[in-house]
Amino acid sequence: MNGLSPWAVSANFELADEPEALVCRKIRDFNFTVYCTNDSLWISVLLPKGGTMAFRAVYSAGASLNVGQLTTSDSGCEIVLSSKIGTFTVGIGMINDNTYPVLHYNTVLKPAKDLTIPYWPRDIIATGKSGNAENIFGKIHASQVGTRSGMLYMSMTKPKSGSVLYLQNLTALAAYCQQTETSAGNTVGGNWPEMGFALPPCTDKSLQADREVCINDAFVAFDAQVPADEAAMMRQYLDLLARVYLLLPKPETAYQPWPDILDSGLKDLLENAGCTSQVGDNEYFNAYVSDHETPPEIMVQLAVLLPLVDYVEWGGAELKIMKTIRKGLPEFYDKDLGTIMRWLPAAEGKLKGEEEQKVPKVMDSWYLHHPLLNLSRLALKGDKIAKELFLGSIDYAIKVAKHFKYKWPVFYKMDTLEVVKKETAEGKGGEKDVAGLYAHIMIQAWEITGEDRFLKEAERAAKTLAGYGFEIFYQANNTAFSSGALLRLYKITKNELYLDLSYMCLASIFKNVQLWDCNYGYGKNLPTFFALFPLNDAPYTAVYEEQEVFCALHDYLKHSKGVNILPSVKLLIAEYIRFLVNRAAYYYPTMLPDEMLEDEAKVGEVNKNLWIALEDLHDGWEKSGSVGQEVYGAGNAFGILPRHYFHIHKEDFYVYVDYPTADFKTGKKKQVTLKVLGDEGLTCRLMLVKKGSGKLPDFEVSYRGDKEPIKGQPVKDGHIAYEVKGDQTIEISWKR
């Protein structure tokens, strides 16, 4: 039997007495009823097969609620209630569009007196039809961690009545958090059957009397199905999340001048002495600005080189620094072990052992595979040095994989394979997504050599991922690379397991995002909507992992051509990319006020005038830049420009789109076409961006097959902006 809090016991008894219904609605097999009890306003939802869940829109501790004005409509109602605490205005929507029914309730409180709130009950109780919550069983599949989305995904299993995705729009709570100096982190959670959102307690700072403040803004999507297995659960989660996302209020984005940002970043990367160190005859990038104590790492060199390669292929420029990086790469190879090393062998003596991995020949499992992936990418582009290093290390990687049976620990010794640290936390296992990263490398090796043994290795590793569920996520970029590898394996083998596992990786990524804007404290200085966290328990978002996930998701859509992937996947990927193109500029300290930056960094130093990105952005009450200024995050701008700006031969403008695109084609005359990806229910920004000081030509922009042109708006610096729908082919023509 379920244990219940006193608040849940009282609520169950009151709901079991079936108080007078204020509003009733039915959407297909779901019945919605609004009740007012002594201290709460409830929306009770009768699920198929007898299960009931109750959602508390108002709570007035120890004070009788009085229903004042009640206004109903076809889609819901608005109710004004009063108590000794103050006045509550509640908007309730029951939304039906032939997909999943959605309940939305928004509550605004106008306190009668200054209030402190030492405790607040959660807003969901699984009550059962007769109010016996202790006999109703279910499973919480995923819930909020830290300042990620205020999300709860669960299924009622006894009675087997369906599944629910609950999303608290934490953006709406900014005024509450600002007044009380509280955080919206860890506000959604709980244990079955008492779950959901609870206002963050405030005792030092009070809510002010007579000032309206939102205290709840919840969206709840319902599905009559309880997923039968892992694959069904991941698909359901993605579909329900996309359903709620379409209804969720989203902040406006702004155009960021990425060509200018890139020029500033490239200048600082090449000219600032804090970005590089000299070892012997070679120059290497530091991991962090002015970190000259830590030996060079091969991951850092390649994490900078690959985005530079993308940029050069796009723009045709020659960068001498790329030759410098390539020249130093062979020095990371250990002939005795037959593999590349994490730390430059010639400088390993500088390691002081202050962390478990900062010891000679100790490898963090993903640190071996990430450089191999980047070497394979270079090899496929014809880089002979990269191909030699990659193929010279591949058998060592296979030996390690077989030794650990495709379940890698966190740290191990490269020469003996002795485990230094087995698990990320007790009972959590090692770095689970490394198996997907390894599969990606093996597919690349198969493409380079044509040897079937590599493809077989990819499949062996991929199959070990089944059963991890949301726990697959160790590090964001590696989970994203895994999703793409699994999609490619599906295309090669037609084995549905790999497509399902790719969705598992994507679901885990979207579980670790922040679908709200932190508009309190320092958070008022930057956008945070749809930010992605680098680790499953990281307290901050990080530029390097975000930039690599951004590129990996672009590649996922590229490889999905010809595959009927979930519409929810197309929607969520496109929206993540759109918001990152807006947000990523704020990783640069030059974009942020000095008062929100830490004075001292954990590693190296933070130079507030450098266009080198900070590693870390935090909750609105915490300063950012505490880890350091990340040289290996320099790929930020170099990854965005080639994927979102299109050159037109002999023309002095770019075509810019903040959504992912495909099939960009230049016509014989002054005309181009491109396919905007994503979902047609959402829009993105298309811009015609001036390169120089001249006047733009006259443009006509339209959807293919539509004679009516799309109207553009002149914007700052002489550019022209258009709002266009996703999943459309766009035609652009111009004349002087």
End-of-domain residue from the set 431, 451, 469: 431
| Overall domain count for the chain | 4
Neighbour-count burial of 736, counting CB atoms closer than 10 A to its CB (0-12 exposed, 13-18 middle, 19+ buried): exposed
Q: 623, 644, 665: which is the final residue of a domain? A: 644
Residue 232 is predicted with a pLDDT of 98
User: Do 243 and 269 lie in a common domain?
Assistant: no
Confidence (pLDDT) at 730: 98
The predicted pLDDT at position 190 comes to 96
Domain holding 291, by residue range, is: 281-431
Query: Please, what's the largest Cα pairwise distance for the chain?
Result: 83
Query: What phi, psi does 43 have (nearest 5°)?
Result: -110, 110
The answer as to whether 492 is a domain residue is: no
**pTM, to two decimals:** 0.97
Q: Give the pLDDT of residue 130.
A: 58
Q: Are 224 and 103 found together in one domain?
A: yes
Q: What is the pLDDT of residue 542?
A: 97
Taking only the tens place, the pLDDT of each residue in 375-407 is: 999 999 999 999 999 999 999 999 999 999 999
Please report whether residue 496 resides in a domain: no
Number of neighbours of residue 96 by Cβ within 10 angstroms? 15
Domain co-membership, 86 together with 98: yes
Q: Are residues 540 and 611 in the same domain?
A: yes
CA distance 407 to 575: 33
Let me know: does 507 contact 238? Beta carbons within 8 Å.
yes
Q: Is residue 461 part of a domain?
A: no
Residue 196 contacts by C-beta under 8 Å, 6 or more apart in sequence? 55, 56, 122, 123, 124, 152, 166, 168, 188, 190, 218
Same domain flag for 684 and 546 = no
CATH at 224: 2.70.98
172 located within any domain: yes
Q: 189 and 142 in one domain?
A: yes
- The CA–CA distances, whole Å, from 462 to 240, 440, 594 equal 26, 9, 46
Whether the Cβ atoms of residue 585 and residue 261 lie closer than 8 Å to each other: yes
Residues 192 and 84 in one domain: yes
Is residue 504 domain-resident? no
Distance CA(234)–CA(468), nearest Å, equals 11
- Separation of alpha carbons 473 and 584, rounded Å: 22
Residue 328 lies inside a defined structural domain of this protein:
yes
Q: Which amino acid is at 633?
A: G
- 60 and 195 together in one domain: yes
Residue 606 structure tokens: 């933070």
In this predicted structure, what is the pLDDT of residue 448? 98
Is residue 463 assigned to a domain?
A: no
Domain final residue, candidates 431, 449, 465: 431
| Cβ atoms 657, 644 nearer than 8 A | yes
Given this model, what pLDDT does residue 129 score? 60
Residue 318: the pLDDT is 82
Report CA dihedral (152, 153, 157, 158) to the nearest 10 degrees: 20
Q: Are residues 295 and 327 in the same domain?
A: yes
Q: Could you give phi then psi for residue 61, rounded to 5 degrees?
A: -55, 120
> Domain check: are 141 and 30 in the same one?
yes
What mean pLDDT is reported for the chain?
95
> Do 288 and 215 belong to one domain?
no
**pLDDT at res. 1:** 65
In whole angstroms, give the CA distance from residue 572 to residue 515. 11
pLDDT at 76: 93
Which segments in the chain show pLDDT lower than 50?
A: none
Say if 295 falls within a structural domain: yes
> Cα separation of 428 and 445, whole Å?
30
Q: Which amino acid is at 655?
A: V
- Mark whether 263 and 191 lie in a shared domain: no
